């Protein structure tokens, strides 16, 4: 095999890096903490984007674009938001370079200092709400439902490809509503859009829930989250949707005249997912041979590898492949014929396995003679020889089956790694084994913090969609009464 991948069991973290790098998804750039997203990785992100974008638009959301820069003073406006976001960020202080008078390249022109520093957006609530002030005067202007696809920067000390990078790509939706109820409903609708996308497109079984107050977005009254379990048993927060109340409306004085002619502050939500989803995709489904991509996100769904000794054999096989490719493409599937002449079939097999292509076909002279083809599925690594007759329909059914199977496998893994835990001693041991622990919690930030300090575990969410959690009990740590279990885990 061309590129060795570390075994998960041996070194999970290295396995992850190997997949990201060797499957050509991304790499570190010359700029500390900033990644380059390579064409193969970006093609997956584009599929995520276009699917999500269509889902957003079906809920009435429109795209727009707001400035990259935010005046420093905006971060002083919303008190909690400052604490949460105005810390590690990129600060623009000057607007000009000049030639070094000593001839050593270029230097910052000291005369070109900005009057007010600009912050590269870590998130855009402040600049967007300063804009909404101009857009909203009456109840007729509401709701405003905007989303933007953009880059954001949060200065991170320790970075990992996709999971934590100084610059990342994301979408951020920002909506404005006349009532609290409507805003809450929107925040809820969007977290459900994320869950739908995670489950049905990414094949990622996620738990929807509320964040505890400690873990809320800075400035939010409620944060809804989807939490996924990675193969090492850690949790990964895959998307969040915030009910922001009137906090930003008050900070930026966004009021509207209601139907009764009275002035009221506007109600807000914001919600986002990022290139972090790429990390989730790698870690949820990958195996020791490389990526395993759900067909709905695979840039190449079917790869065809010809096996031949002579030019005649080669062209006969390639002709067959071309017909099949046209048939599959006509039905919206993406196909690559790997006709590279300088590489052996075994090398190609390993490469496409590493890249997670769901279905691989191999065909040689003997297959041609017998009217068959070898078909390999990436998720189970099973190979079967099947008739060429009816192959198009078979492949299309197989892609559906793979999509479902990848989800089922991840779901079975997650379910096998969720367990109830009712004693503090047990918790301290069990949490180190990975997985989600369903435990009683007394609802206080104090207890949550103590558990975090002692075990690194946090409350990932207070599940919304899981009735089993509603029961009386006592807090695992404090022993105080509790009315429901919550999800504890160590997280990315």
* 482 within 8 A of 475, measured Cβ to Cβ: yes
Q: Nearer Cβ to a second copy, position 1 or 106? A: 106
Shortest Å, Cβ 163 to a second copy = 16
108-to-94, 118, 236 alpha-carbon distances in Å: 7, 16, 40
385 interacts with a second copy by CB under 8 A: no
| Interface with a second copy, residue 393, by CB under 8 A | no
Round to whole Å and give the CA distance between 315 and 21. Answer: 34
Q: Rule CB under 8 A: is residue 84 a binding residue for a second copy?
A: no
Burial of 322 (0-12, 13-18, 19+ CB in 10 A): middle
134 touches a second copy by CB under 8 A: yes
374 φψ region: left (φ > 0), alpha (ψ -120 to 50), beta (else): beta
Six token digits for residue 139? 């109840």
Measured from the CB atom, the residue of 46 and 288 that comes closer to a second copy is 46
Q: What angle do CA 369, 373, 378 make, to 5 degrees?
A: 165
Query: Is the CB of 58 or the CB of 104 nearer to a second copy?
Result: 104
Taking CB under 8 A as the rule, does residue 127 contact a second copy?
Answer: yes
When asked if residue 139 is in the footprint of a second copy (CB under 8 A), the reply is no
Q: Are strands 418-420 and 436-440 parallel, antiparallel or unpaired?
A: parallel
Task: Please pick, from the candidates 10, 54, 58, 65, the single residue that binds a second copy as defined by CB under 8 A.
Answer: 65
Cβ–Cβ under 8 Å, residues 486 and 469: yes
Residue closer to a second copy by CB (options 160, 452) is 160
Cβ 154 vs Cβ 219: under 8 Å = no
Name which of 37 and 207 has its Cβ closer to a second copy. 37
Q: Does 247 bind a second copy (CB under 8 A)?
A: no
96 or 480, CB closer to a second copy? 96
Interaction of residue 36 with a second copy, rule CB under 8 A? yes
Q: Draw the binding track, 89-118, toward a second copy (x: CB under 8 A; -: no contact).
A: xxxxxxxxxxx----xxx-x---x----xx
**Please, which residue, 92 or 393, has the CB nearer to a second copy?**
92
The least CB distance from residue 152 to a second copy, in Å, is 10
Cβ atoms 242, 217 nearer than 8 A:
yes
Shortest reach from residue 143's CB to a second copy, in Å? 12
102 vs 382 by CB, closer to a second copy: 102
**Pick from 138, 232, 214: nearest CA to 443:** 214
Report the distance separating Cα 377 and Cα 287, nearest Å. Answer: 13
Query: Does residue number 37 form part of the binding site for a second copy (CB under 8 A)?
Result: yes
The one among 8, 18, 131, 208 contacting a second copy by CB under 8 A:
131
**Structure tokens, 359:** 């279905």
* Residue 326 is a binding residue for a second copy (CB under 8 A): no
The answer to the question of residue 236 lying near a second copy (CB under 8 A) is no
- The footprint of a second copy on this chain (CB under 8 A) covers a number of residues equal to 66
Q: Are the beta carbons of 270 and 244 closer than 8 angstroms?
A: yes
Q: Is 342 in the site for a second copy (CB under 8 A)?
A: yes
Closest distance of CB 202 from a second copy, Å: 20
**Smallest separation (angstroms) from a second copy to the CB of 115:** 9
β-pairing verdict for 167-177 and 267-274:
antiparallel
Give the range of 67-75, 327-335, 347-355, 419-427 binding a second copy by CB under 8 A. 67-75
Q: How far is the CB of 38 from a second copy (least distance, A)?
A: 6
Q: Which of residues 144-203 bind a second copy (CB under 8 A)?
A: 146, 150-151, 153, 155, 167, 169
Is residue 73 close enough to count as binding a second copy by CB under 8 A? yes
Q: Which residues pair with 242 in a beta bridge?
A: 223, 270
* Phi and psi angles of residue 443, each rounded to the nearest 5 degrees, phi first: 85, 5
Among 19, 20, 48, 119, binds a second copy (CB under 8 A): 119
Q: Can residue 63 be called a binding residue for a second copy (CB under 8 A)?
A: yes
Considering the rule CB under 8 A, would residue 2 count as an interface residue with a second copy? no
* Residue 206 contacts residue 195 (beta carbons within 8 Å): yes
User: Residues with Cβ < 8 Å from 349, sequence gap 6 or more?
Assistant: 305, 360, 362, 376
Q: Which of 460, 448, 356 is nearest to 414 (CA)?
A: 460
Strands (E), 197-308: 206-210, 222-229, 235-245, 255-257, 263-265, 267-274, 302-306
Nearest-approach distance from CB 167 to a second copy, in angstroms? 5
> In this complex, which beta carbon is closest to a second copy, that of residue 135 or of residue 429?
135
330 makes contact with a second copy (CB under 8 A): no
* Cβ atoms 288, 15 nearer than 8 A: yes
The DSSP annotation for 170-210 comes to EEEEEEEESSHHHHHHHHHHHHHHHHHHHHHTS---EEEEE
- Chain residues binding a second copy by CB under 8 A are 27, 29-31, 34-39, 42-43, 45-46, 62-76, 82, 86-99, 104-106, 108, 112, 117-120, 127, 130-131, 134, 140, 146, 150-151, 153, 155, 167, 169, 342
């Amino acid at each position: 095999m061309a590129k060795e991948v570390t075994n998960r069991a041996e070194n999970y973290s290295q396995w992850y890096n190997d997949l990201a790098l060797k499957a050509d998804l991304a790499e570190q750039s010359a700029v500390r903490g900033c990644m380059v997203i390579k064409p193969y990785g970006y093609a997956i992100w584009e599929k995520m984007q276009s699917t999500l974008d269509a889902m957003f638009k079906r809920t009435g959301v429109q795209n727009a674009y707001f400035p990259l820069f935010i005046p420093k003073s905006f971060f002083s406006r919303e008190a909690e938001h400052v604490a949460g976001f105005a810390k590690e960020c990129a600060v623009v202080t000057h607007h000009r370079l000049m030639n070094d008078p000593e001839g050593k390249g270029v230097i910052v022109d000291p005369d070109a200092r900005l009057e007010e520093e600009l912050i590269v957006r870590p998130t855009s609530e402040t600049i967007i709400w300063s804009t909404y002030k101009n857009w909203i005067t009456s109840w007729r202007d509401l709701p405003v439902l905007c989303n933007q696809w953009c880059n954001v920067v949060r200065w991170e000390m320790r970075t990992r490809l996709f999971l934590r990078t100084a610059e990342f790509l994301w979408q951020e939706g920002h909506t404005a509503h006349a009532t609290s109820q409507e805003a809450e409903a929107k925040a809820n609708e969007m977290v459900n859009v994320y869950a739908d996308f995670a489950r049905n497109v990414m094949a990622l079984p996620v738990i929807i829930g509320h964040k505890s107050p400690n873990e809320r977005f800075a400035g939010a009254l409620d944060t809804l989250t989807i939490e996924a379990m990675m193969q090492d048993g850690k949790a990964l927060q895959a998307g969040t949707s915030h009910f922001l109340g009137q906090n930003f409306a008050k900070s930026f004085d966004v009021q509207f005249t209601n139907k009764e002619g009275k002035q009221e502050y506007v109600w807000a939500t914001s919600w986002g997912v990022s290139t972090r989803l790429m990390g989730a995709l790698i870690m949820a489904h990958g195996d020791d041979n490389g990526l395993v991509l759900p067909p709905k996100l695979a840039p190449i769904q079917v790869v065809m590898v010809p096996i031949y000794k002579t030019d005649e054999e080669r062209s006969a096989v390639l002709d067959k492949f071309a017909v099949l490719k046209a048939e599959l493409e006509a039905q919206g599937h993406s196909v690559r014929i790997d006709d590279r002449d300088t590489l052996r079939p075994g090398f190609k097999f390993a490469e496409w396995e590493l890249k997670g292509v769901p279905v691989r076909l191999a065909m040689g002279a003997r297959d041609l003679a017998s009217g068959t083809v070898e078909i390999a599925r990436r998720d189970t690594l099973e190979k079967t020889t099947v008739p060429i007759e009816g192959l198009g329909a078979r492949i299309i059914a197989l892609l559906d089956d793979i999509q479902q199977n990848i989800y089922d496998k991840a779901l079975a893994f997650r379910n096998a790694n969720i367990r109830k835990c009712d004693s503090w001693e047990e918790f301290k041991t069990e949490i180190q084994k990975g997985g989600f622990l369903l435990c009683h919690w007394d609802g206080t930030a104090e207890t949550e913090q103590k558990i975090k300090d002692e075990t690194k575990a946090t409350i990932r969410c207070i599940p919304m969609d899981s009735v089993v959690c509603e029961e009386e009990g006592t807090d695992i740590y404090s022993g105080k009464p509790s009315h429901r279990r919550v999800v504890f885990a160590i997280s990315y």
